[in-house]
Structure 1
Amino acid sequence: MNRLELTGLTARPSQVWGGIRLVPLVRGTPVEGLRLHREVYAGSEGGVVEVGPRTHYTAYIPHGFVADWSGEGAGTAAYGTQLAAGGGAGSTPPSTLRLPRHRHHRMAKRQPGDRLRFLPLHLALEGYLSLHFGGPSTAWEEWSRQALRDGLSPRAEDAYLGWSVRGLGDALRVFEIHPGQCGVMVYAADALAAAFVVPHPEDYRLLHASLVQDLYGELVHQYAMYGAPVAAFGARIADGPGLDTLAGLRAAAREQEREWSEAHDTLFARELLDTSYSFDRVYRMGSFTLWRFLPPFLRNGAGQHIGETVTDHKGRVAYLKTFRLSEAQIRRGHLLRALDAADWQLARAAVALGATEEELVRRIRAAGFGALLRARGGGPR
């Protein structure tokens, strides 16, 4: 498995609000045997997750998701669910957030019955932050004592809350949810910002507004803030035979919808669907599997995404949530991959990157990893 398979999901005509484009994803039939619920951490948006011995992940964590494959999910609330007032897509966000620490044990944790609690999006973000987190695997003289002792710790990245992405909250509030809708693609200035898919339309209806509580990358925030309004989808049906009846007109309209769906998958969403990912299995849930994935970190100018997904036994996506990386984050991932592939030898990594050792040292410092290098000269002796 190295690609995302969205079989069974159809893109409906887009909904445009300024620079934000929402593309609803509709299922003909829901995914059987899996439901998704939200577990709200009221008043404890600041979360600390124990991800390993002496290793913690700290972030804004307003809620968790509970995957239920017991077959009882249609009429039951998630175990441990807390109900909180407000929080809809049209609600006014607080001007100041106080972040008391809510402690979580693991990114994904089994709950009573056939249920698994996991922290949406943070599962993927922690996977990116932990990329070669241990640092140099060999004590080459170029690396500092801190690098050899602590690796990349502490490692941090910036993100923007959905409330601050211009137009997103309004778009989620204004536009209707389609019958059978199980997901959405979010675009800012027609750049793919995020994809969100759930197994069942009822799950999506309950989780639709939670998109404003997700985290979005720097590029998405900038595109939404400074990008021009995007063009709305408009169907154009040329005059011709067969349009003199309601059935003929309906068939022509459906053909326009089909053409839009194909154009979306081949043009708008191509960077997400045509990329080969490295998948890391997190948990097996009966016939379903929870994964997180990383892109190849290619320096080709295309958008790249990290994310998490639940697939069935055929590899089809039942759940999906993605995060678009900024160019700087792609560069950091590319650099760390190159260093690790070269066994953290600067000379070998420089050759692989087509640079001199001095240039590589400058790249390491510019990427924010200067603490890894020895203080004297910062490079090979």
Structure 2
Amino acid sequence: MSRLDMEGLSTGPAQVWGAVRLVPLMRAEPLTDLRLHREIYDKGAAGGTPSTSGGATTVAAGRRTAYTSYIPHGFVANWTGEGGPAAAYGSQFGDGRAPVECAPLHLPRKLTQRMPRSGRSGDGPSGLRFLPLHLALDGYLALHFGGPPIVWEEWTRRAVRDGLSPRAETAYRGGRVRGLADALRIFEIHPAQCGVLVYVADALAAAFVVPHPDDYRALHPSLVHDLYGELIHQYGRYGPRTVPDVPVRIDPEYIASVADLRAAAVRRQREWAEQHHDLMAGELLDESYSVRQVHRMGRFRLSRFLPPFALHRAQHIGEMITDGKGRVAYLKTFRLSDKQVRRGHVLDRLAAHDWHLGATAAAMGITVPELARRIRQLGFEELVKAHI
């Protein structure tokens, strides 16, 4: 178990649009030897912007296992082994207003895929193509996927033969979250911004971090095509239409000069940063995660992580790229709904007791029939025999 190390990132003043609150994350020293850019997979895309009518895509997620989801784009990470500067592959000069030229791309076959070195001599930056956020979702869906390792009499033949296959979860595209598209379109991007915390009805929906401000400016619009949990969709639809935006107040009694006004503004800005850092720490940084490395990328590591599935508190899954000291260079998170947390909680308890219903129920302080009821209620009714 480990924690997220967000050293080098600081929070800026939040911006509010309706029920959406965006908190920028800034780096004092951007990373130059790791860069990210986006590849469009949606056939309806034009001018560098994915269309809203993308279909489902199926990719290989392991041996005899497939992962199917709406996948509008992928990320490509480029890095240099010597620590020197790296540019996002395929960069173009422009004023930021005209659409970039996009080459036609084939749909991905895997969740992660190595790319050949760029450059004529093959000595350019190395690259890795991966499907953003889907690494994390695949890790959650694969949680104890094999089912009972011991053939206890309580489990059906299907549970022993197929395990938890197929697993399915519901998520919503960002465009379905009320107010998010407008917020991303009109909010200001800070010069040093390398990430953002997305709040809907003041619930942390997602955290997104990239290595460099240029990467963030290019990837900022992609947030509206990301996947968000059922809870966030409900908060956007049924929650408050607006969230309070705390106004800045400076007491004029203590302002006698421009220098005093500047010092007071700096203090207020520091208070903003500390407040949002504390909110982020309460949900993300103070939690311990189970981390699994997916790829080694020079001095960087691409990993996905799962929470402890603690009940009655916010839990996030995600993926990250960390440097040699474990500091986050890239991060994307997904907030689980209460039911998804309960599913992970019950599966973890079953796996910890070799899927023995009696031992698991005793450890949870409930009866076997109550445990069987919870298993059925969480969508695993076909795994338990009817007489239990």
TM-score (norm 2): 0.88
1:33 Cα deviation from its structure 2 partner:
0.9
Change (3 A) 1:374 1:323: same
Contact 1:13 1:233 in 2 (8 A): no
Matched, 1:105 2:109: yes
The amino acid across from 1:290 in the alignment is: L
Structure 1 distance, partners of 2:328, 2:334, is 16
Residue 58 (structure 1) aligned with residue 68 (structure 2) = yes
Aligned-residue Cα RMSD (Å) equals 1.7
CA shift for structure 1 position 104: 3.0
Aligned residues: 355
- Residue 18 of structure 1 corresponds to 18
Which residue in 1 is equivalent to 2:225? 213
SS in 1 for 2:262: helix
Inter-partner Cα distance in structure 1 for 2:314 and 2:144: 22
Change (3 A) 1:222 1:86: farther
**1:358-369 correspondence runs (5 A):** 358-369=369-380
**Distance in structure 1 (CA, Å) of the matches to 2:204 and 2:62:** 33
What's the offset of the Cα at 1:42?
2.9
1:230 to 237, 243, 249: 243
Q: Secondary structure at the match of 1:374?
A: coil
Q: How do 1:199-348 residues align onto structure 2 when only pairs under 5 Å count?
A: 199-228=211-240, 229-241=242-254, 243-299=255-311, 301-348=312-359
Q: Which residue of 2 aligns with 1:180?
A: 192
2:79 maps to amino acid: W
1:297 match: secondary structure: coil
Does the 8 Å contact 1:50/1:104 carry over to 2?
no
* 1:129 counterpart letter in structure 2: L
Distance 2:27 2:68 in 1: 35
Post-superposition offset of 1:281: 0.6
Alpha-carbon deviation of 1:74? 2.4
Q: TM-score, normalised by structure 1?
A: 0.90
Q: Does the aligned pair in 2 maintain the 1:14–1:233 contact within 8 Å? A: no
Alpha-carbon separation, structure 2, partners of 1:125 and 1:118: 13
Q: 1:254 Cα deviation (Å)?
A: 1.3
Deviation at 1:240, TM superposition (A): 4.4
Per-residue deviation at 1:313? 1.0
Select the residue among 46, 53, 58 that pairs with 1:48: 58
After superposition, the C-alpha distances for 1:170-214 in whole angstroms (9 at most, x for unaligned) are 000011111111100000110000000000000000000000100
In 2 relative to 1, CA 295–339 (structure 1 residues): closer, same or farther, beyond 3 Å?
A: same
Amino acid at match of 1:112: P
Letter in 2 for 1:111: M
1:74 to 62, 87, 98: 87
Identity of aligned residues (%): 60
Change (3 A) 1:150 1:112: same
3-state DSSP of counterpart to 1:187: strand
Post-superposition, which runs of at least 4 consecutive aligned residues in structure 1 deviate over 4 A? Answer: none
Deviation of residue 86 (structure 1)?
7.8
Match of 1:156, SS state, is coil
Using the alignment, how far apart are the partners of 2:128 and 2:74 within structure 1? 10
> Which deviations, in whole Å up to 9, do the C-alpha atoms of 1:249-278 show, x marking residues without a partner?
122111111111111111355111111111
Which residues of structure 2 form unaligned runs of 5+?
44-53, 92-97, 101-105, 118-125
State how far apart, in whole Å, the 2-side matches of 1:189 and 1:86 are. Answer: 33
* Deviations 1:266-325 (CA, angstroms, capped at 9, x unpaired): 1355111111111011111111111100000011x2111000011111111110000000
* Distance verdict in 2 for CA 1:6–1:75, change over 3 Å: closer
